Structures are given as structure tokens and as C-alpha cells.
Amino acid sequence: MFKGLEHTAIASPNPEALANWYVKHLGFHINYSYAGNFFVKAPNGAMLEIIPSEGEPIPPKMKDPGIRHLAILVDDFDQDFAKLKEQGVHFLGEPFNNQGNRLVFFSDGDGNIVHLIHRENPLP
């Protein structure tokens, strides 16, 4: 039986540094590592595997084919946005509202697109 996503992988030129970025800025913790690969786990149990990359990085664009962003759910949008701003996180625009949701896009330590989201009503 299929149970759902266990983790999503991100290839990075420096997996340990990117793992620590998620720890420092988003409250994840490193819950497993091996041979230069790092699993980071969010407070809600979602996991990312950060693996060594090969080749030159290609800056992501919002609508390129493939996985485009990671969405980080927050309870207090303004507080968490202010915290990231104080930490010098690079935002790709200003916060905005969309269908009752509050969100803002930003880059992680490798330039991957991430966004904060607070939903007025959770998804079904």
C-alpha cells in the first residue's frame, strides 16, 4: 500500500551547509546523515534529503518544468516573515494575499525557491 511522500530530495553543492540553513532559518533538525547526505526534518514531520550535486547549478525560475517550490506552513505569518527578514533571508518579492492565504516567496541557502504560507482555511 502506498502511504505518501516520505521525503523530497534536493541536490546541493554543499549538502551540510544547506541542511544547516534549514535548521537555522526554518526550525528543521538534522535527523539522519550518511556519506555526505543529510535528512532534515520539519517540526510537522516533513523531511528533505539533501544530497551532493554534480555539475553547475542552474538558477530556478518560478515556472520552469519540475518541482518549483517548497511551501512552509506557518501559524503566525507576520512574526515568521519578520524573523526571516532579520536573518537576512533573500525575498523574491513582498508578502501578498491570495484567496484568503498570506504568502511570500524567498530563496534558501542554495537559491531554491521556498515560500511561507498561512492559510485562512486548511486544504481539504
Categorize the per-residue pLDDT at 109 as very low, low, confident or very high, splitting at 50, 70 and 90.
very high
Residue 103 has what pLDDT? 96
Sheet holding 113-118, edge to edge: 70-73, 113-118, 101-107, 96-98
For the stretch 34-85, pLDDT in tens is 999 999 999 999 999 999 999 888 888 888 888 889 999 999 999 999 999 9
Complete domains list, the chain, with CATH: 1-54 (3.10.180.10), 68-124 (3.10.180.10)
Residue 21 has pLDDT above 90, yes or no: yes
The overall pTM is greater than 0.85: yes
Question: Cβ contacts of residue 112 below 8 Å, gap of 6+?
Answer: 10, 60, 69, 70
Q: Are 18 and 9 in contact (CB under 8 A)?
A: no
Output Rg (C-alpha) for the chain, integer angstroms. 15
